[in-house]
Amino acid sequence: MKKSRFRFLGQSALFWLAVLAVFLVAEWIVMPRMTEFRKVGWIIFPCIMAVIAMGLNLIYGFNGQFSLGQWGFYAIGAYAAADVTYRFAARVTYPVQGIVFRLPPVLQRVIPMAQVELFHFDAGKSALLLGAVLFGGLLAGLISLGFGYIVLLRLGSDYFGIATLGFTVMVQVLLINSDRVLPETKGARGMIGIPQMTSFFWAFIFLIVVVVVMRNIIYSSVGRAVMSVREDEVAAQAMGIDTLRYKVMSFVVGSLFAGLAGGLYAHLYAFLSPLYFDFVKSFDPMIIIVFGGLGNMTGTIIATFLWALTVEGLRIWLPQGFEAWRFVVYPIALLLLMLFRQQGLLGRRELGFLRAPKWPLRKTVAEPIPEAAEAGAPKEGR
Amino acid sequence: MQKTLGRFTLFLRRRWYIALILVLVLLWLLNHARQNPQLFAQFVVDGLRLGFVYALVALGYTMVYGIVRLINFAHGDVFMIGAFTAYYASTRWHWSLIPTMLLAMVVCSFLAVVIERVAYKPLREAPRIAALITAIGVSFFLEYFTALDFVFTPNFISFTPLPIKFQSWDVAGITVSNIMFIVIGVSTFFLVLLYYIVYRTKLGKAMRAVAWDKPTARLMGIDVDWVISFTFALGAALAGVGGMLYVIVYPQVRTFLGVMPGLKSFIAAVFGGIGSIPGAFVGALSIGMIENLCGAYLSSTLRDLIVFAILIAVLLYKPTGLFGETAKEKA
């Protein structure tokens, strides 16, 4: 059978069909059976968290730059996106009449919904959300470009971590004082009146796009350069790799992901408080990527969902009167995990489409291998 | 773009403008001092008082980092335990100052050694991030376990009566209290004692040797594990004293008390060059002073922002901190 030539973001039609299947199963079969609280805490929020963790994994897991600044960029993205929608949400609306059909009772056993809506949404609001989230991400990326370039030029290892920790604290202090410039953020009291627009659809789309982009970065020459910086910076430099450039690049891309995630988070609970962007929380993505295995994309995604399941689940599972034990049980779990599985959940093993592609992927190998070329090795424009 | 940024970073590397900024800041401060000398002196004195407390905590961070290369995030919570010990000893059992202090030191040292043995020692050969995550875990555990209802409760508890009677005098318009003298006196005593231990005793020599090179120290017959435990205990004892002094100055205890002073002390240690004892001392005094003067003359809500901005600026100027030249000679 001849392989299909269809490619979107470097992935085959089969991949996108699988993504669609996962989405539909989650949206129609799993999520209607959950309460609102679990739906948000166990499915939508982890999708957002996975985006941040992926970004941090690029910075720390693949590039080896110990950064605690992810939470600061997350905050920047969240407030930037929230501010955009706060201003325009009331004015922008363009409902699209899609197809709404009632489900027959037989199907309702599988899909517990009275009706299914297809392409029935507000295009104006969706475009606004997309624009706001992208704006948050780009703003975070831009700030990280300036900050990263200046700081990475001079600092490495722990000192870079401390500088980025300082950045997170600075962002939080600025947000507490932000009502002097932007009154709608209400400073320390927290921002209200953000339209609640982040659905599973948006969180999932962004997660998939980020995962695919990450995969395409990692298994390219850029990705190899990024990883060589982690392995040995001096050797990488000796091989002619502009280490500063790749460090800044991965920092910017990782922060951009954090900014996107922030935009999604802002419209999830429709409330933002500077307290949430506390530096103590900036260890959450770090915990997740260490739990999933540094430099492991599959591990990061699985770890995010397990982490959310544990942290949110402890609210439910702990018996009556023991709710305050949530953060007593969690650190103990963390400690045991670090004592017995330091290499993370999966170690270095990637699963599924995130595995490294088979070796002669491109024709740019020194000696062209004829059968690989004939077998229709994917041509990725670069 | 690249070129402009390159020029900008070249500009960053110039030294003269740092001196210019420092002179401007000094002039600005002098102007304030001239306008109201008494108020200025009061802020400086308060800054010193805070700085000495930070110094005690910062030393724990710096010694532990110097010896095991671990940012011990649980140190701020050991500080909190010291504060609570002092609270119980003086309000429940009505102990006087010195026994309270000794109890806080003993409790904190014991706790730190237990933490080190249980959580950090098994991870000594593991990647450093594992130990860091463990430290964060220990920190969470101490904060939330002590916040349980049957331990310390999550409430703010006011610390009355203090183990000493509060007295204050008016010296040339500046209010000085006996608490200030106690803070500065006790801190100075312990700093000198620590200096003596690290630089003048055999144990201190062993600590410096372990910080320098662990395998070689082991070959020289030094019990490395014991020395590391001792370092943790020493740092924690100082944190215990610091915790007691902190709650005497700000008489209120809470289980999340240690987070912000812990972070500030850590910043102070980095500021002075993490791993260096005089650096931690100078850094802590500077941070205490900067914090107080910023709060007084610039903006009290933007204080932390300015402290961190100065930290990042100092790191950019000298990546290993002010006293970072002795980076190899960690104690």
Domain count, chain A: 1
**Smallest CA–CA separation between A26 and chain B, in Å?**
32
A360 occurs within a structural domain: no
Which SS3 state, helix, strand or coil, does residue A377 take? coil
**Smallest CA–CA separation between A302 and chain B, in Å?**
19
How much is the pLDDT for B92?
A: 85
> For tokens 């400073």, what's the residue?
A187
How much is the pLDDT for B326?
A: 44
Interface test with B, best of A154, A178, A252 (most B CBs within 10 A): A154
Residue A264 has pLDDT above 60, yes or no: yes
Which residue among A153, A158, A331 places its CB closest to the CB of B137? Answer: A331
- Average pLDDT for residues A294-306, to the nearest whole number? 90
**What percentage of chain A carries pLDDT values higher than 70?**
92
Q: Does B147 lie at the interface with A, CB-CB under 8 angstroms?
A: yes
Interface test with B, best of A62, A167, A173 (most B CBs within 10 A): A173
Residue contact A177–B301, C-beta within 8 A: yes
- CB contacts < 8 A, A to B, total 122
Residue contact B133–A330, C-beta within 8 A: no
CA atoms within 13 A on the CB side of B247: 37
- Chain A residues with beta carbon closer than 8 angstroms to that of B137: 331-332, 334-335, 338
Q: Does B140 lie at the interface with A, CB-CB under 8 angstroms?
A: yes
A240 occurs within a structural domain: yes
How much is the pLDDT for B151?
A: 80
pLDDT band at B159 (very low <50, low <70, confident <90, very high): confident
A350 occurs within a structural domain: no
**Smallest CA–CA separation between A69 and chain B, in Å?**
13
Residue B325 has pLDDT above 60, yes or no: no
Residue contact B311–A287, C-beta within 8 A: no
pLDDT band at A382 (very low <50, low <70, confident <90, very high): very low
Residue contact B9–A163, C-beta within 8 A: no
**What percentage of chain A carries pLDDT values higher than 90?**
31
- Average pLDDT for residues B101-127, to the nearest whole number? 91
**Smallest CA–CA separation between B130 and chain A, in Å?**
6
In this structure, the strands spanning A121-122 and A95-96 are antiparallel
Residue from A295, A279, A55 nearest A162 by CA: A279
A307 occurs within a structural domain: no
Residue contact A177–B145, C-beta within 8 A: no
A376 occurs within a structural domain: no
Instruction: Name the closest residue on chain B to residue A324, using Cα atoms.
Output: B148
How much is the pLDDT for B299?
A: 80
**What percentage of chain B carries pLDDT values higher than 90?**
29
| Exposed/middle/buried for residue A286 (C-beta within 10 Å: 0-12, 13-18, 19+) | buried
Residue A380 has pLDDT above 50, yes or no: no
Question: Considering only CB atoms, which residues of chain A are within 8 Å of chain B?
Answer: 66, 149-151, 153-156, 158-159, 161-163, 166-167, 169-170, 173-174, 176-177, 279-280, 283, 286-287, 290, 294, 324-328, 330-332, 334-335, 338-339, 342
Residue contact B312–A167, C-beta within 8 A: yes
- Average pLDDT for residues A93-101, to the nearest whole number? 81
A230 occurs within a structural domain: yes
Q: Does B327 lie at the interface with A, CB-CB under 8 angstroms?
A: no
Interface test with B, best of A180, A282, A342, A343 (most B CBs within 10 A): A342
How much is the pLDDT for B11?
A: 67
How much is the pLDDT for A4?
A: 62
Instruction: Name the closest residue on chain B to residue A288, using Cα atoms.
Output: B133
Interface test with A, best of B14, B69, B129 (most A CBs within 10 A): B129
pLDDT band at B13 (very low <50, low <70, confident <90, very high): low
- Give the separation between CA A43 and CA A207, rounded to whole angstroms: 12
Q: Does B320 lie at the interface with A, CB-CB under 8 angstroms?
A: yes
pLDDT band at A359 (very low <50, low <70, confident <90, very high): low
* Residues A169, B266 contacting (CB under 8 angstroms): no
**Smallest CA–CA separation between A35 and chain B, in Å?**
28
pLDDT band at B219 (very low <50, low <70, confident <90, very high): very high
- Give the separation between CA A203 and CA B276, rounded to whole angstroms: 47
Which SS3 state, helix, strand or coil, does residue A195 take? coil
- Average pLDDT for residues B114-126, to the nearest whole number? 89
A373 occurs within a structural domain: no
Interface test with A, best of B118, B128, B140, B255 (most A CBs within 10 A): B140
How much is the pLDDT for A371?
A: 55
How much is the pLDDT for B142?
A: 92
Q: Which domain holds residue A199?
A: 15-277
Interface of B with A in 1-60 (CB under 8 A): 5, 8-9, 12
Which residue among B143, B148, B308 places its CB closest to the CB of A166? Answer: B308
- Average pLDDT for residues B30-58, to the nearest whole number? 87
Which residue among B139, B302, B311 places its CB closest to the CB of A177? Answer: B302
- Average pLDDT for residues A340-363, to the nearest whole number? 73
To the nearest whole number, what is the mean pLDDT of chain A? 85
A166 occurs within a structural domain: yes
Which residue has better confidence, A182 or A132?
A132
Alpha-carbon separation of residue B328 from A223, A298, B57, B206, B209 (angstroms): 34, 39, 22, 15, 11
Lowest mean pLDDT, pick from A56-60, A188-192, B85-89, B205-209: A188-192
User: Taking the model in full, what pTM does it have?
Assistant: 0.88
How much is the pLDDT for A1?
A: 47
- Chain A residues with beta carbon closer than 8 angstroms to that of B319: 154-156, 159
Which residue among B71, B147, B149 places its CB closest to the CB of A158? Answer: B71
Lowest mean pLDDT, pick from A85-89, A123-127, B160-164: B160-164
To the nearest whole number, what is the mean pLDDT of chain B? 86
Instruction: Name the closest residue on chain B to residue A169, using Cα atoms.
Output: B305
**Smallest CA–CA separation between A303 and chain B, in Å?**
15
Residue contact B316–A169, C-beta within 8 A: no
- Average pLDDT for residues A170-175, to the nearest whole number? 92
**Smallest CA–CA separation between A155 and chain B, in Å?**
6
Residue from A49, A70, A235 nearest A147 by CA: A70
Which residue has better confidence, B213 or B162?
B213
How much is the pLDDT for A363?
A: 54
- Chain A residues with beta carbon closer than 8 angstroms to that of B302: 173, 177
Residue A315 has pLDDT above 70, yes or no: yes
- Average pLDDT for residues B135-146, to the nearest whole number? 91
Lowest mean pLDDT, pick from A248-257, A282-291, A343-352: A343-352
Residue contact B144–A279, C-beta within 8 A: no
Q: For A24-57, what is each residue's pLDDT tens digit?
A: 888 888 888 888 888 888 999 999 999 999 999 9
pLDDT band at A360 (very low <50, low <70, confident <90, very high): low
**Smallest CA–CA separation between B64 and chain A, in Å?**
14
* DSSP-derived secondary structure letter, A345: S
* Residues B115, B72 contacting (CB under 8 angstroms): no
**Smallest CA–CA separation between B125 and chain A, in Å?**
11
A165 Cβ contact list (under 8 Å, min separation 6):
A68, A69, A279, A282
Residue B233 has pLDDT above 90, yes or no: yes
| Cα A15 versus chain centre, distance | 19
Residue A120 has pLDDT above 80, yes or no: no
* Residues in chain B, overall count: 331
- Chain B residues with beta carbon closer than 8 angstroms to that of A324: 144, 147-149, 154
- Average pLDDT for residues A77-102, to the nearest whole number? 85
Q: For B261-311, what is each residue's pLDDT tens digit?
A: 999 999 899 888 887 888 889 999 999 998 888 888 888 888 888 889 888
Return phi, psi of residue A354, to 5°.
-85, -5
Which residue has better confidence, B155 or B14?
B155
Residue A255 has pLDDT above 50, yes or no: yes
Q: Which residues of A229-241 are buried (b: 16+ CB within 10 A; e: fewer)?
A: bbeebeebeeeeb
Residue contact A342–B270, C-beta within 8 A: no
- Give the separation between CA A288 and CA B128, rounded to whole angstroms: 16
A253 Cβ contact list (under 8 Å, min separation 6):
A55, A58, A141, A217
- Average pLDDT for residues B42-61, to the nearest whole number? 89
- Respond yes or no on whether the N-terminal peptide bond of residue A112 is cis (omega within 30° of 0): no
How much is the pLDDT for A130?
A: 92
